[in-house]
Amino acid sequence: MDSYSIFIVEDDPWYGEILEYHLTLNPEYQITRLTSGSQCLAQLHKRPQLITIDYSLPDMNGKQLLQRIRSANPDLPVIFISGQEDVGTAVELLKMGANDYLVKDDHTKDLLWNSIVRIRENQRLKQEVEQLREELGQKYEFEKTILGSSAAMKRVFAIMEKAARTSINVSVTGETGTGKELVAKAIHYNSERAKKPFVPVNMAAIPADLLESELFGHEKGAFTGAIARKIGKFEEAAKGTLFLDEIAELDLNLQSKLLRVLQERELVRVGGNEKVKLDVRLIVATHRNLAKEVKEGHFREDLYYRIMGLPVELPPLRQRDNDVLMLAKSFLQEACKTNKLGPLQLSNSAKEMLKQYPFPGNVRELKAVIELAAVMSNGQEVTADDLHLNTVGGDNFLLSDAKTMKEYNIGIIRHLLKANNNNIQKVADILDIGKSTIYKMIQNKEIVLPV
Amino acid sequence: MEVNELYSLQKIEHIARGDQAFLRKMINLFLEQAPSSVKDIRQAYEKKDFAAMAAQAHRLKSALDTMAITSLQQDIRALERMDHEEAGTAEAGVLINKLETVIDQVVAQVRTI
């Protein structure tokens, strides 16, 4: 049984007795009766979970007491019970943060009962949200969120820490699948704004004609179908972080609207006149080269400088040294857990293959490859045969990164071996080279044939 | 259920839901509190401390409501709301006289329960 401490501040012993008797019908409620405002303030250190206050107390009125309670504990629920119905006072008290205002009559005790039940439910939900936020914050600790010990990733972590400590705008760039949203979340959940919302918007996923109202909200009747006022993503992210993914996809018209909002730090909902002040941290991301987009006239230069802020450049997986194996092991463990499989290891041939493959789809592709391999694996090991690496992009990966001629040769031979069922003679014929060239590469472990 | 024209225990019995100990406690509290509050109202009136008079009337109000002493429900509210000027008039004195009389009668009857 969870005990719940309630102070009843009531100078009328008769009414106080009735309230106490009624509330103690719930054995969880631990009641403390107090007869004045000063008594109540003196007992606040006992940390009541709710206070009911008779508005007219002998030493101070309800407003004065509420102000002093609020300065000591801004979140403590307070219910007023007044002998007189006074709408003006009720409104004023509710504006000051009172949770309810009840008038003493035959129904008060039942209304009070329901009000406390509602407040407790709210408190429980708030606690739950708080707990989940904390868990989320822990989940997004940099090292737990983004695995990597390569020099390139260490540089990224250092910039992310700087970003988390400030409220400066951040721009995250990197190829598709490098984890841009994850970086944005990690920055948010490690910043002072962690307890406020993180609101992601993918600009490429929302039709252009809906994007304005999605971002800035709209008033009722702003356009056909606007049946009620809608709060936009900027307002939704109040005091938190707004993550605009694929920012380069924004059309020029909306770019100028976004620029104005960022400059003015306020917005006007579509179809409205009211100016809404903003306190939002902006993180943007794109897989495109924004500077190039500016040069080509697709992206406004002034907006570019406004949003660029602190740039975080995520390296492609192929430039992250041994991170690929660290990530692969982690994804494999995760896949085994999710699919209720026994523990699996990566074979040497699989490791070698993963290290050699350029992963044009980056971490996202690696994850998909490993998940599939875990399911396809028949033993305790994931072998090279279980890895299906010739995914989207096909041969293009051969040219996806600057390489030496030798590395190109190895890449081409490896690709043809795979395409020709490891028939060395056939590959040698296709390339018009001697078989011995390929055998030498195998001997030197430059090429690993699947067992 | 105890009902007569001066008061009714119906409301307090409803709250008590058969709990005789609570019912007795509330009756005793009324017998103790009501005459004392009336006395305080009288003294405050005579000292022309009308704020104290209103505060005492406010404290007594819920007991009168719960005991369903209907003949005093408007009067106690009038005393509670009286401003300085009104409280100095003869009307306040009349209301207090009535309050004393009715409470004396109710107390006498309740004591016999």
Cβ neighbours of A82 in B, within 8 Å = none
A287 with A391, same domain?
no
CATH number at residue A205: 3.40.50.300
- Write out residues in chain A with pLDDT < 70, as ranges: 1, 137-140, 390-403, 450-451
Residue B89, classified by CB atoms within 10 Å of its CB into exposed (0-12), middle (13-18) or buried (19+), is exposed
State how far Cα A38 lies from the chain centre. 45
Let me know whether A301 and A322 are in one domain: no
Chain B residues touching residue A21 (CB < 8 angstroms): 15-16, 19, 22
Whether A404 is in a domain gets the answer yes
Residue in B15, B55, B58 nearest the CB of A21: B15
Which are the contacts of A247, defined by CB distance < 8 A and separation ≥ 6?
A171, A203, A284, A285, A286, A290, A307
Determine, yes or no, domain membership for A448.
Answer: no
- CB neighbours of A40 closer than 8 A, spacing ≥ 6? A7, A9, A34, A51, A53, A65, A69
Provide the pLDDT confidence category of residue B2 given band limits of 50, 70 and 90.
very low
Q: Which residue of B has its CA nearest to A23?
A: B15
Residues A305 and A322 in one domain: no
CA distance A62 to chain B (A): 14
Residue A138 inside a domain? The answer is no
Task: Examine residue B63 and state whether it is found in any structural domain, yes or no.
Answer: yes
* Tens of pLDDT, residues B46-66: 998 888 898 899 889 989 999
CB-side exposure of B36: number of CA atoms within 13 Å?
11
Residue B74's domain is classified under what CATH number? 1.20.120
What's the domain count of chain B? 1
What is the residue range of B94's domain? 10-111
Pick the residue of B59, B61, B64, B81 with the most A CBs within 10 A to test the interface with A by mutation: B59
Tell me whether residue B1 is in a domain.
no
Q: Which of B16, B19, B62 sits opposite A14 (nearest CB)?
A: B62
B28 in a structural domain: yes
pLDDT at A47: 92
- Domain extent, residue A392, equals 318-443
Quick one: pLDDT at residue A227? Answer: 83
- A375 in the same domain as A292: no
In a domain, B5, yes or no: no
Domain check: are A326 and A287 in the same one? no
User: How many Å apart are CA A35 and CA A404, to the nearest integer?
Assistant: 86
Average pLDDT for chain B:
89
Same domain, A45 and A192: no
As for how many domains chain A has, the answer is 3
Residue B4: inside a domain, yes or no?
no
B21 or A138, which is more confident: B21
Q: Name the minimum distance, in Å, from the CA of B90 to any CA of chain A.
A: 25
Count other Cβ atoms within 10 Å, centred on residue A444.
Answer: 9
Contact between residue B65 and residue B73 where contact means Cβ atoms under 8 Å apart: yes
Q: Point out the residue among B55, B62, B80 whose CB comes nearest to the CB of A15.
A: B62
Q: Which two tokens stand for residue A295?
A: 């040069």
Considering only CB atoms, B29 lies closest to which of A17, A56, A109, namely A17
Q: Which residues of A touch B26 (CB under 8 A)?
A: 14, 17-18
Residue B26 domain flag? yes
Interface of A with B in 77-96 (CB under 8 A): 83
Model pTM? Answer: 0.54
What is residue A392's predicted lDDT score, i.e. its pLDDT?
42
A274 contact B CB<8A: no
Mean pLDDT of chain A: 88
> Which residues of chain A have a CB within 8 Å of the CB of B29?
13-14, 17
Query: Under an 8 A CB cutoff, do A58 and B55 touch?
Result: yes
User: Which DSSP state fits A284?
Assistant: E
Q: Is residue A140 part of a domain?
A: no
Is residue A338 domain-shared with residue A395, that is, in the same domain? Answer: yes
- How do A275-277 and A266-268 pair as beta strands? antiparallel
Residue type at A335? Answer: A
Residues A53, A162, single domain; the answer is no
* Residue among B22, B33, B55 minimizing CB distance to A14: B33
Is B3 among the domain residues? no
A109, A132, A155 - which closes a domain? A132
Asked if residue A68 and residue A93 are part of one domain, the reply reads yes
DSSP A447: S
Looking at residue A132, its pLDDT comes to 83
Is A449 within the bounds of a domain? Answer: no
Do the beta carbons of residue A314 and residue A172 sit within 8 Å?
Answer: yes
Q: What is the pLDDT of residue B3?
A: 46
Q: Which residue has the higher pLDDT, B38 or A426?
A: B38
Residues A269 and A343 in one domain: no
Residue B72: pLDDT band (50, 70, 90) is: very high
Residue A450 lies in a domain: no
CB-CB under 8 Å, A18 with B63: no
| Count of pairs with CB atoms under 8 A, one residue in A, one in B | 42
Enumerate chain B positions whose Cβ falls within 8 A of a Cβ in A: 11, 15-16, 19, 22, 25-26, 29-30, 33, 55, 58-63, 65-66, 80
B59/A104 touch (CB, cutoff 8 Å), yes or no: no
Same domain, A159 and A306: yes
Amino acid at A269: R
Distance, CA of B57 to CA of B77 (rounded, Å): 7
Token pair for residue A74? Answer: 């801004």
Indicate whether A302 and A341 sit together in one domain: no
Q: Is the pLDDT of residue B1 over 50?
A: no
Q: What is the pLDDT of residues A30-53, one digit of tens each?
A: 999 999 999 999 999 999 999 999
CATH number at residue A117: 3.40.50.2300
Starting at the earlier edge strand, list the strands of the sheet with A281-286: A198-202, A241-245, A281-286, A170-173, A310-313
Domain end position, chosen among A108, A132, A156: A132
pLDDT of residue A394: 47
Does any domain span residue B53? Answer: yes
State the pLDDT at residue A401. Answer: 60
With an 8 Å Cβ cutoff, is A11 touching chain B?
yes
Among residues A81, A111, A132, the one where a domain terminates is A132
CA dist B58 → A8, A54, B38 (Å) = 17, 11, 11
